[in-house]
Structure 1
Amino acid sequence: MTISKFQETVNQFVLSKDQVQKIVDGMTEELVENITQQPSFITRLPTGKETGLYLAIDMGGTNLRTAAVHLLGDGQVGVTMEKHEITQELKTGTGEAMFNWIADCLASLLKIVAVDMGNADLHMGVTFSFAIHQTAINHGNVLAMGKGFDLPDVMGKDLKDLLQDSFKRKNLPIVVSAIINDTVGTLVSHAYVSPSTKIGVILATGTNAAYIERVSEVSKYNGPDCDQMILNTEWDAMGKAEYLPQTKYDKEIDAVSLVPGFQEFEKMVSGLYMGELVRLALVDMIEQKAIFEFLEGKVPESLQARLAFKTLFMSTIESENSSEHIAVKRVFKTSFGIEGLTAEDRIRVYDLIHAIGLRSAAMVAAACSALLYKANGRSVSLDDTNEITTIGIDGSVFEKYPHFSLSMMEALANILGKDRATRIRLELARDGGCIGAALVAMVSHHGGAV
């Protein structure tokens, strides 16, 4: 029987067991090569029993969040947080003006929480969503920032020094005790809630992961002796063409990206790109009259723009339980001005979206399996013990995409075997930026970092 053009397209996104295993093996090998990974200098996780008050800032491309994090023990936290927009004037001004502003934002927070520490310093953690060359738990030189920032006098400077100088100018008794990225923060913050957490994952517009590794396996670390360390994998940049099951649509996304051949794994699984895969496949099938035949092979202008089909539309369509798939009709009418979809068109759009969503979940599960194998050997520490391993995952794709967690668990069962997979927990992790930074400041303050 001849396979239709539509089914042929969908089948490209359906992964065989062998294809998934190649991803596991390929990423495990890249983890061994240690090319992208960055040591965090964090050598232990919180137990969930810690108490105390720690400050945190989370600096991204759009906003600065400041937080006072009260560790209450028993995995409980109380958070007082403020959010401040980073203006274009600040982004293109001087470094001194930027860091003075950050200090002012922290001073505002301290007034709200009415902290009275006497002569004691307040310890603070920093989540910094820009490239730095980290040299210690609380030191790192700022590299190119991007995201609209143009602060030449900041480049190459130690982030801790920049912050501490501003605190001195503003008479703030704050000590920078830790600098982390958001993935490390996700792992640490969720470990406080669930001490069995061994992996932290970000799965949103982009993706990354951190896990606990033996220091003997961290080739980029040359500091004091220790047994283990949280390792930032930068797995977004991992993935080689020889084992990634790229379709022609994946290759097209990569070809027109800012840096072709870079972050190929991320381009196949994350929120920025999943919707674009749907759009490219739809455009191809419309032109070949394999879907929306009433358009007679002509692609509407509304579907021609890059990134026009949002991953949010995929979530909306997969959220509907009705076999009529009315959400498909609504999305195309409201967002693209396309009417006249037949019942078969709606089913086909749903099937395409479902296949792309399932592929993302399977590939992320494969990557998580690679981390488990790398950290623990092929036993995954599950053969001789009933120990639970928790993976904390933050991000809109995991949180909001329908059935994503279930799809990941099904993929893990296929990769690890059902018995092993029952000892893996996938849990939503939130606010890793501020809570994670505060917790790492606590860990560092009490000697859990090098």
Structure 2
Amino acid sequence: MAGSTFQDIIDSFTLTPQQVQKIVDGLTEELIEGLTTTDPKNITQQPSFITRLPTGKETGLYLAIDMGGTNLRTAAVHLLGDGRTGVTMEKHEITHELKTGTGEAMFDWIADCTAQLLKTVAHDLGSSELHMGVTFSFALQQTAINRGKVVAMGKGFDLSDVIGKDLKDLLEGGFQRKNVPVVVSAIINDTVGTLVSHAYQTPSTKIGVILATGTNAAYIERAAEVGKYKGPACDQMILNTEWDAMGRSDYLPQTKYDKEIDAVSLVPKFQEFEKMVSGLYLGELTRLAIVDLIEQRELLPQLDGKVPETLKVRSSFKTLFMSTIESDMSSEHHAVSSVLKTSFGVDGLSGKDRHRVFTLIQAIGVRSAAMTAAACTALLLKANGHSLNLDSTTEETTIGIDGSVFEKYPLFARKMKNSLVKILGEDRASRIRLELAHDGGSIGAALVAMIHTSGGTV
């Protein structure tokens, strides 16, 4: 990494309007390509088999699980009508041992977690009502509303004997082994769940986004354009874009740090867009850049280019540290010293050092927001003329966004909005609302399970 100056590094993370537009155009091309491709390696634009959004009037009590990149959430969801819900939820951390073990061990554990929830809500559920909606935050080839083959798993997962298997069979196998009386009635992706659940509360919602450990999005597409869909005839279809897996080197503005993260990941050349914007990777981008700055004597020059051993540990700089540092808006940025000393034992930062680390982290956060806004723009433009009308003078479109990066990273929503203004212009961007979506996976899964098991068409 020889020759990098501080300004070189900041410039490498700062996107020009032309670079942002290339992302919009490139993602739009891939969205269109994904609608019809039969290449099994292309996991984008997956039909969800869900053909409409909820009305907000649905009622009932259903089980749900939401399996993400970091946690498993089990829930009993009360749909109360008028967009209201009541949720009893339990959260369980998915350990590294589980992520890299056997599929059977993972699904036995999920069954144990579900059994624990049933003890909590048993008084609310009759034995004939144990229908479950499942939100699965990984690539599925959906074959029915309650069936789908696992196509790929990122986010640190490396389970044996899971890829290519039907998720309903995997889950119900665990339930049967553990004597848990639950039937999987619906399977959805977390972004589909975010879209469905936020539309239950806010009918103007047309796009659902996840921005947490990983990232993904869902939107409504005209069924006639979804050439890969072979199910019953319908007018429209909610698609799981799997935009995390999109991105080509001809339009993604990858820095040398992005390329290094990709090269050492479990699956190189997979989920390259996600590796540039999501919570699992932002902290590591920061660490690699800090290491480079120290080696070039652009940071902590008293170390004479020698990087502390603590900073050499991969993934040791958490995205949470970035949030802590950006939350300190004082001119002295003392949070930089606090984080580096407390977590890495690194002391002796000058005011210049603190300012440089703060500026670096801010540039990486702004880039993530700009790229996410560009991806949302691609969806808005792809759907324009159907469920969206960007040129309307009155119609408002809501994007429901769930995830820790959007919720907890300082001013992330404002950064995204600023990027939308730069891309779309003030007038059109003013009609796009970015709203925080909560518990989208659980509520969305329950909504789809309820409509499916009640005999309606989702």
Q: Structure 2-normalised TM-score?
A: 0.87
Query: Percent same amino acid among aligned pairs?
Result: 67
* 1:93 to 1:347, Cα distance in 2 relative to 1, 3 A: closer
Q: Of 326, 331, 335, which residue of structure 2 is paired with 1:318?
A: 326
* 1:441 to 1:348, Cα distance in 2 relative to 1, 3 A: same
- C-alpha distance after superposition, 1:269-314 (max 9, x if no partner): 1111111111212222222212221111211111112122211111
Which residue identity lines up with residue 172 of structure 2 in the other structure? Answer: L
Which residue identity lines up with residue 441 of structure 2 in the other structure? Answer: G
CA drift of 1:258 comes to 2.0
Q: Of 176, 184, 189, which residue of structure 2 is paired with 1:176?
A: 184
Is the 8 Å Cα contact of residues 215 and 278 (structure 2) preserved in structure 1? yes
Which residue identity lines up with residue 188 of structure 2 in the other structure? Answer: I
* 1:73 to 1:250, Cα distance in 2 relative to 1, 3 A: same
Aligned: 1:217 with 2:225: yes
Q: C-alpha distance in 2, partners of 1:442/1:11?
A: 50
Q: Helix, strand or coil: the match of 1:68?
A: strand
Which residue identity lines up with residue 315 of structure 2 in the other structure? Answer: L
- Give the length in aligned residue pairs: 443
Is the 8 Å Cα contact of residues 142 and 149 (structure 2) preserved in structure 1? yes
Q: C-alpha distance in 1, partners of 2:160/2:199?
A: 36
Is the 8 Å Cα contact of residues 164 and 175 (structure 1) preserved in structure 2? no
- Decide which structure has the larger Cα Rg and report it: 1
- C-alpha distance after superposition, 1:78-118 (max 9, x if no partner): 1123446779799565799668647744642541x43348x
2:202 corresponds to: 194
2:29 corresponds to: 29
Q: Helix, strand or coil: the match of 2:391?
A: coil
Aligned: 1:5 with 2:27: no
Q: C-alpha distance in 2, partners of 1:96/1:287?
A: 45
1:18 corresponds to: 18
Q: C-alpha distance in 2, partners of 1:42/1:328?
A: 46
* 1:255 to 1:138, Cα distance in 2 relative to 1, 3 A: same
Aligned: 1:425 with 2:436: no
Residue ranges of structure 1 left out of the alignment (5+ in a row): none
2:272 corresponds to: 264
Q: C-alpha distance in 2, partners of 1:162/1:205?
A: 23
Aligned: 1:276 with 2:287: no
Q: Of 278, 295, 301, which residue of structure 1 is paired with 2:303?
A: 295
Aligned: 1:388 with 2:388: no
Q: C-alpha distance in 2, partners of 1:142/1:86?
A: 18
Is the 8 Å Cα contact of residues 108 and 174 (structure 2) preserved in structure 1? no
Out of 299-308 and 318-327, give the one that drifted further.
299-308
Q: Helix, strand or coil: the match of 1:12?
A: helix
- C-alpha distance after superposition, 1:127-184 (max 9, x if no partner): 23455432111122456778464467x9635616963995799594x55331112111
Q: C-alpha distance in 2, partners of 1:398/1:283?
A: 27
2:37 corresponds to: none
What's the Cα RMSD here? Answer: 3.1
Is the 8 Å Cα contact of residues 400 and 436 (structure 2) preserved in structure 1? yes
1:48 corresponds to: 56
Is the 8 Å Cα contact of residues 164 and 176 (structure 1) preserved in structure 2? no
* 1:144 to 1:272, Cα distance in 2 relative to 1, 3 A: closer
Is the 8 Å Cα contact of residues 41 and 229 (structure 1) preserved in structure 2? yes
Q: C-alpha distance in 2, partners of 1:253/1:40?
A: 31
CA drift of 1:346 comes to 0.8
Q: Helix, strand or coil: the match of 2:85?
A: strand
Q: Helix, strand or coil: the match of 2:367?
A: helix
Q: Helix, strand or coil: the match of 1:290?
A: coil
Q: C-alpha distance in 2, partners of 1:379/1:202?
A: 20
Q: Helix, strand or coil: the match of 1:46?
A: coil
Out of 234-243 and 381-390, give the one that drifted further.
381-390
Q: C-alpha distance in 1, partners of 2:419/2:222?
A: 27
Which residue identity lines up with residue 309 of structure 2 in the other structure? Answer: E
Residue ranges of structure 2 left out of the alignment (5+ in a row): 35-41
CA drift of 1:403 comes to 0.6
* 1:228 to 1:448, Cα distance in 2 relative to 1, 3 A: farther
1:398 corresponds to: 406
